[in-house]
Amino acid sequence: MNIDSLKFDKNGLIPAIVVDDKSGEVLTLAYMNRESLNVTLEKKLTCFYSRSRSCLWLKGETSGNFQHVVSITADCDADALLVKVNPDGPACHTGTRSCFTDTLFSAEDEAAEEFSLDALYALLVGRKTEKKEGSYTTYLFEKGLDKILKKVGEESTEVIVGAKNNDRAETIYEIADLLYHVMVLMVEMGITNADIMQELASRHVIDHKVKQEKMTK
């Protein structure tokens, strides 16, 4: 497919949904015209058309939060684009990773209130056994152990980078990513939360006994 195959609207624009290539998180919805799309393809950085300012807008040009393009895919009607990126920073001008932060409705609100690691583990098991189409978790299980281990390694590095930069919010985000991928690994290997708790408990018992022995000497 080329640009000439795309269907721009009457204003010469086409919506572009920008997604984090690693996490699958939707970052923003913006618009491109032919010129901004050409810039995007040339620089491999997202460039949009600002409808409010009537000019091109290279994401990150002033903030430094560039979005490095991984792929651009048109939908079945060729009138919308899905742009997968590796972002250098927040996508939103407010400083949040995604522009989509205000929930209007969520059927999972009650489930979120009851969130626990055991509930997450059960969900991951379900993704492995039921093979839900379009699920990132199912994708990981289908790719197998090597892919899962690669993600664990990548997320471990990102935790280190976030902490090294003394960025608390980023470190929390990356630790959550790491925990999720570690739990995917656990499900893949048949390791349960109880197994981990038992191992930690045994270390606590050993540590307690060592302290008692030192106190009696």
Residue 52 lies in a domain: yes
User: Considering 87, 120, 148, which residue would you say is the last residue of a domain?
Assistant: 87
pLDDT at 192 over 80: yes
Quick one: pLDDT band at residue 1, thresholds 50, 70, 90? Answer: confident
pTM: 0.52
pLDDT digits (tens, 9 = 90+) for 58-94: 999 999 999 999 999 999 999 999 999 999 988 988 8
What is the β-pairing status of strands 47-50 and 67-74?
A: unpaired
Q: What pLDDT shows up at residue 153? A: 97
Quick one: pLDDT band at residue 2, thresholds 50, 70, 90? Answer: confident
Residue 94 lies in a domain: no
Residue 131 lies in a domain: yes
45 and 132 inside one domain: no
pLDDT digits (tens, 9 = 90+) for 98-143: 998 887 766 655 555 567 888 889 889 989 988 888 889 999 999 9
The CA-based angle 148-113-25, given to 5 degrees, is 40
Residue 171 lies in a domain: yes
Residue 92 lies in a domain: no
119 and 180 inside one domain: yes
Angstrom distances, CA of residue 141 to CA of 126, 147, 180, 187, 197 = 11, 8, 13, 9, 24
Residue 8 lies in a domain: yes
Residue 32 lies in a domain: yes
38 lies in which domain range?
Answer: 3-87
Tokens of 60: 């990150």
Angstrom distances, CA of residue 93 to CA of 67, 84, 85, 102, 120 = 14, 19, 17, 15, 32
How many structural domains does the chain have? 2
Q: What pLDDT shows up at residue 15? A: 97
113 and 78 inside one domain: no
Whether the Cβ atoms of residue 69 and residue 44 lie closer than 8 Å to each other: yes
CATH number at residue 13: 3.10.20.810
